[in-house]
Chains A and B, each alone.
Chain A
Amino acid sequence: MSTVQRNMSLTGEPPKTINTQQKLASAIGLIGLAVLFLALFNINFPNKTLWLTASLIAIGGGTVWFSIAAYGNKHEGIKNDGVYFKSLTSKGFWAWVLGITLTLYYVVLYWFPQYLGLVQDGENKGLVALFDPLSKFLNGGPASQWFVYGTLYTVAILAFGIKFILKYRHNKYEKLRTYSVMFFQLGFAFLIPELMQRLNSDSFSLPYYDLKNIWPLNYYNFEQYRVDQFISAGDIGLALLIFGIASIFIITPILTYKYGKRWYCSWVCGCGGLAETAGDPFRHLSDKRQIAWKVERWVIHSVLVFVVLMTTAVVHSYLGDDSSKYWLTKVVFLISVAVILTAVFAGTFIFKREELQKDARYGAIGYFVIIISLIGFHYFSGKTLFLFEAETLRQSYGFLIGAVFSGVIGVGFYPIFGSRVWCRFGCPMAAILGFQQRLFSRFRITTNGGQCISCGNCSTYCEMGIDVRAYAQKGENIVRSSCVGCGICSAVCPRGVLKLENGPLEKRIDSNEILLGNDVDLMKYVNN
């Protein structure tokens, strides 16, 4: 009963089984994948356009048909029957098969693109070559491993997005949110940057820029080659550069204040988009233990510190010393960074001190001292900022965080650790947004008086591993940095207890007028 089933068979008992239509749909999807697989092993398809189209349609169409067969003839409502009985969704055999396959795929993608058929100078081969026609159609050039990845990523978000919409078709919040991530992935992450490349010529060149991909998630946005490209591309380039800076310093704080981090994490972001669509069947696998929360707080904020150090070092490395040539010199830049960090640190400690846990205070002070002293250290002495060469920092970050954490662990381990491992433990963007959400935002999840029955659906299906029930059963609002506002806790609640809301800051966290249904005078004692 409480043991996890490890049944390999697809023809198990209801609700483990899938119906005939779903089997046919799976077969079509797998045939589509098989075409890609054959291309990977250098089967040379004669008409690449045709075969690629057929393959992508089979993958997408198979997924959509599967979903229609799964949900179409059922009532609107929560569809979690048998989640813990199915091998794929309960860390059984198929979960490991999928996890290992995805992990291998990421390893090849990041470090061995030649096995995918990438040829640096010359005609592509294998899988990458299969995507050449589509790449030429969109951006005019041959495909790269990243083009293959981007295309498949987009197909996954679109196809599994439709699945998610069918699954939650009774819930308008979920539907709108999913339309939104599908739109941003297809338009902003895929089509616009690809088409923008068509504008590039010998005299004019813009870097590949997914406009919704904001620093520090887009940790390379301010690297020298990109900034050079932006600046040399005239007004458009400058506008994009300014947009990149405004995104993090102006747009993000305003939207996060009004709506919480969900406006980004579960409405716009591509990582979140994949987690919410293709990753949805694995959302319950996130670790709910308190220890996991403690680890999460240290790891994600360490990544944030790392990215701040790395970016500062990188920008610092290419700035000049002579203020007569350009106003932004190394020194001006370092002072600005120190001023911004000090302002954030001081502001938090002056206005929100009582809301910080002990470990958050220690952590904040520790990191603040480290960053400022490293900057000071440089200012008075050394050449290499932060003890390491900027290039070393950049490469280590790109390898450890950009590739291993966000790709290999973040997506490869979906079927084992759940769909939001990267977002929860690693994403520095989520750390910034979460910091603001916890302290300066109107967003909260409200609980409905005393109606909670402690059933645990909310905690179980929280992809961020938040123990939602712990708050709900006490009648407390939920205000947590990590909450991405996916709304599933509210959807799965059988008693209508949870609601995502934007409201005034007063009494957002600690409402002492908690109503659990008991005698009002008694509750005054209970709450004190």
Chain B
Amino acid sequence: MEHIVIIGNGIAGVTAARHIRKLSDKKITIISAEANHFFSRTALMYVYMGHMRWRDIEPYEHWFWEKNRLELKKAYVETVDTNNKTLYFKGGGILTYDKLIIASGSVTNTFGWEGLDLNGVQGLVTKQDLEKIEKNAPNNKECPRAVIVGGGLIGVEMAEMLRTRDIEVTMLVREDGFWSNVLPKQDAEMISRHIVSHGVDLRHNSELDKILDDGSGNVRSVLTKDGEEIPCSVVGITTGVKPQISFLQHSKIETDKGILVNRKLETNIEDVYAIGDCAQQREPIGNRPPVEAVWYTGRMMGEALAQTICGKPFEYNPGNWFNSAKFFDIEYQAYGWVFSESKRKDYEAQFHWKCASDLRCVTISYNKNSNEFLGINTFGIRMKHEVFDKWLNEKRSVDYVIENLKQANFDPEFYRKYEKVIQSKFFNQPVNA
């Protein structure tokens, strides 16, 4: 029986395993050093916030794995010997495979600042990071203030977590708006204001210089590039993530930022595949970055690879881009591409509407030459994935999309509708060619 070994029990690895099991009888082993069972990484924050227990963020009950003959092994893979198709574990032990799927995910990305090794400096990516933050910031007496470096999705999650325990939070964001390397300026600014309204000391145009210690190996404060010293006991490093591939250093598997794969998610070595956050496409797909560290893309790669492994070769061919997040109380959904100032294409124009409450806004991007609808960012209004996916495939015009916006609404029943005000703003806007 063919033995499929999967390194990593995150969404990519587990999705691949589930689909391989659906399609075949192969022996499947999932290896993880992080956690006994698959959990939702995006839900780590809710455990610290007291919304859920650890077991609540595990999507499958424990009997699921045995019932579906998915063998779980808790171990850390130290080296991969592709010649002999063998994995070597830290602390001894080996495992041989017929096909290897690497879905080892990400680690926190840092920029080599001084003081990264001090107690109290941490990211928020793994189960161990969650255990660390519980230890480093149990309450506002042990941790009166934390500094978060970087304004992205993990940064705002960490800020929300710490604020639930009344811990003062300072966020250092390099740009002049929250997540403004991804969000258009007006969207970014609204989210910035919302973050501030939750009592976060959000510093734009501010960068970390170094982290200072208290003489006994703990964080005392951070020093910004402006020379300001901010006392704190926890430093959250949330300047993005990078593929976790250090264990492949001495292997023959070709890597760059991540593990290099073709569209079939094959590496340079036969029978070795890589999916999820750790994979890097040799040729970027459309507007997508070569490394996509997103829950949804991990899941999609897992689905695609399972077909290939089970004899129906399939390319990873993601549909229209979509994503979502929640910034404190404001939900965000994106369908198609709406680019930030720095990444905007020449042909891209944007229409922006914002609610007087400052809690809702919509930014729609379109081709200024052809009027083709390119994408939407929606904040505080839920919209339907299916409808936008269809409109994007049909290459609808921006006028069509705005006229029919009501069809896309996914807010709960009885909610106030905003389509009419959005339409009137769009159709009354001055034409700027």
Question: Is this pair of chains taken from one and the same complex?
Answer: yes
| Chain A residues proximal to chain B, CB less than 8 Å | 1-2, 4, 13-15, 75-78, 80-86, 170-173, 176, 289-290, 448-451, 453-457, 459-460, 469-470, 473, 487, 490-491, 494-496, 499-501, 515-520, 522-523, 525-526
Chain A residues positioned under 8 Å from B54 (CB to CB): 1-2
B17 → chain A, closest Cβ, in Å? 14
Instruction: Judge whether B312 is part of the interface by a CB distance below 8 angstroms.
Output: yes
Instruction: List B contacts of A495 (CB < 8 A).
Output: 324-326, 331, 333
Do B46 and A290 touch across chains, with their CB atoms under 8 A apart?
no
With both chains docked as a complex, state the minimum distance between the C-beta of A483 and any C-beta of chain B, in angstroms: 15
B40-76, CB < 8 A from A: 40, 42-43, 46-59, 61
Judge whether A84 and B52 touch: CB under 8 Å. yes
- The answer to whether A526 and B413 touch across the interface, beta carbons within 8 angstroms, is no
Contacts of A490 in B (CB 8 A): 412
Q: Is A81 a contact of B164 with CB atoms below 8 Å? A: yes
Contacts of A515 in B (CB 8 A): 319, 385-386, 389
- Cβ A526 vs Cβ B319 within 8 A: no
With A516-B299, A522-B303: A15-B50 Cβ-Cβ less than 8 Å: yes
Sample (26) of A-B pairs whose CB atoms are under 8 Å apart: A1-B48, A2-B54, A14-B164, A14-B166, A15-B49, A81-B51, A84-B50, A86-B50, A171-B412, A449-B389, A450-B296, A451-B296, A451-B333, A456-B46, A456-B57, A456-B58, A460-B52, A460-B56, A473-B59, A496-B383, A496-B410, A516-B299, A517-B389, A518-B319, A522-B307, A526-B303
Besides the known contacts A81-B51, A84-B50, A454-B59, 8 further A-B residue pairs in the complex with CB atoms under 8 A apart: A4-B53, A448-B385, A449-B384, A450-B296, A451-B296, A496-B410, A516-B300, A523-B303
Chain B interface, number of residues (Cβ within 8 angstroms):
68
Of chain B, the residue at the smallest CB distance from A501 is B413
Chain B residues with CB below 8 A from A86, complex form:
50
Q: Which residues of B contact A289 (CB under 8 A)?
A: 61
Q: Whole-angstrom distance from the CB of A447 to the nearest CB of chain B?
A: 9
In the bound complex, residues from chain B placing their C-beta under 8 Å from that of A2 are: 47, 53-55
Query: Does B131 sit at the interface, judged by CB under 8 A?
Result: yes
Q: Is the CB of A290 within 8 A of B384?
A: no
Closest to B60 in A: A470
**A12 (CB) vs chain B CBs: closest residue:** B139
Q: Which residues of B contact A450 (CB under 8 A)?
A: 296, 299, 322, 385
Q: Interface code B29-41, partner A: CB below 8 Å = 1, 0 otherwise?
A: 0000000000010
Q: CB-defined interface of B122-135 with A at 8 Å, one 1/0 digit per residue? A: 00000000110010
Give B163 Cβ to nearest chain A Cβ, in Å.
Answer: 9
Which one, A76, A470, A517, contacts B385 given CB within 8 A? Answer: A517
A91 to B384, CA, bound (A): 38
Would you call B296 and A517 a contact (CB within 8 A)? yes
Cβ A13 vs Cβ B139 within 8 A: yes
Asked whether, in the complex, the Cβ of B303 is within 8 Å of the Cβ of A460, the reply is no
B3 neighbours in A (Cβ, 8 Å): none
- B345 on the A face (CB < 8 A): no
* B185 at interface, CB cutoff 8 A: no
Closest-CB distance, A517 to chain B (whole angstroms): 5
Determine the chain A residues whose CB is within 8 A of the CB of B296 once the complex forms: 450-451, 516-517
Q: Does B114 contact A (CB under 8 A)?
A: no
A225 to B340 CA separation, bound complex (whole angstroms): 75
B165 on the interface (CB 8 Å rule)?
yes
Report B-chain residues with C-beta under 8 Å of the C-beta of A448. Answer: 382, 384-386, 410
Near A by CB (< 8 A), chain B positions 318-371 give 318-320, 322, 324-326, 328-329, 331, 333
Q: From B11, B317, B333, give the contact of A522 (CB < 8 A).
A: B317
CB–CB B382/A460 < 8 A: no
| B250 is an interface residue with CB less than 8 A from chain A | no
Q: Which residues of A contact B58 (CB under 8 A)?
A: 456
Return chain A residues, CB-CB under 8 Å to B329.
Answer: 75-78, 170
Q: How far is the CA of A448 from the CA of B51 in the complex (A)?
A: 23
> Residue B197 at the A interface, CB < 8 A?
yes
The answer to whether A82 touches B49, judged by C-beta atoms less than 8 angstroms apart, is yes
**A520–B386 CA distance with the chains assembled, in angstroms:** 12
One of B130, B198, B318, B386 near A1 (C-beta < 8 A): B130
Q: Which A residues lie within 8 Å of B384 (CB)? A: 448-449
By beta carbon, the residue of chain B nearest A1 is B134
CA distance A30 to B115 in the complex (A): 52
> How far apart sit A520 and B392, CA to CA, in the bound complex (Å)?
14
Beta-carbon contact of B385 and A84 below 8 Å:
no
What is the CB-to-nearest-CB distance from A522 to chain B, in angstroms, rounded to a whole number?
A: 6
One of A84, A449, A457, A487 near B53 (C-beta < 8 A): A84
- Smallest beta-carbon distance A2→chain B, Å: 3
Given that A517-B322, A518-B319 are contacting pairs, would A14 and B139 also be in contact in the complex, using a CB cutoff of 8 Å? Answer: yes
The listed residue (A4, A453, A526) touching B43 by CB distance below 8 A is A453
Task: Kindly provide the distance from the CB of A436 to the nearest chain B CB, expressed in whole angstroms.
Answer: 20
Q: Is B111 part of the binding interface, using a Cβ–Cβ cutoff of 8 Å?
A: no
A-B interface, 6 closest residue pairs, ranked by CB to CB distance from nearest: A449-B385, A2-B54, A77-B329, A496-B382, A455-B43, A13-B139
Whether B415 is near chain A, meaning CB under 8 Å from some CB there, is: yes
* A198 CB → nearest B CB, Å: 37
Contact partner of B197 among A75, A518, A526, CB < 8 A?
A75
268-311 of chain B: CB within 8 A of chain A: 295-296, 299-300, 303-304, 307
Task: Write out the residue numbers on chain A whose beta carbons fall within 8 Å of the beta carbon of B197.
Answer: 75
Tell yes or no: B404 within 8 A of A by CB. no
A517 and B318 in contact, given A2-B55, A81-B164, A522-B307 (Cβ under 8 angstroms): yes
Does B138 lie at the interface of the complex (its beta carbon under 8 Å from any beta carbon of A)?
A: yes
Residues of chain A within 8 A (CB-CB) of B385 are 448-451, 515, 517
B328 touches A456 (CB 8 A): no
Residues of A contacting B325 in the complex (Cβ-Cβ under 8 angstroms): 495
A-chain residues with CB within 8 Å of residue B304 when the two chains form the complex: 518-519, 522
Cα A495 to Cα B333 in complex, Å, equals: 7
Interface of chain B residues 1 through 48 with chain A (CB within 8 A)? 11, 19, 40, 42-43, 46-48
Q: Are A454 and B50 in contact (CB under 8 A)?
A: no
**Contact (Cβ within 8 A) B50 A82:** yes
B322 and A83 within 8 A (CB): no
CB distance from B253 to the nearest CB of A (A): 25
Most buried by A among B42, B52, B329: B52
Is the CB–CB distance between A453 and B40 below 8 Å? Answer: yes
Among B48, B198, B384, which residue has the most Cβ atoms of chain A within 10 A?
A: B384
The interface residues of chain B lying within 8 Å CB-to-CB of A172 are 412-416
Q: A456-B57, A518-B300 are in contact. Are A499 and B131 (CB under 8 A)?
A: no
Q: Is the CB of A456 within 8 A of B59?
A: yes
**Residues of chain A lying within 8 A (CB to CB) of residue B198:** 75
Per the bound structure, the CA–CA distance linking A176 and B416 in Å amounts to 13
Tell me which residues from 172 to 224 in chain B have a Cβ below 8 Å from any Cβ of chain A.
197-198
Knowing A75-B197, A519-B317 touch, does A457 contact B52 (C-beta < 8 A)? yes
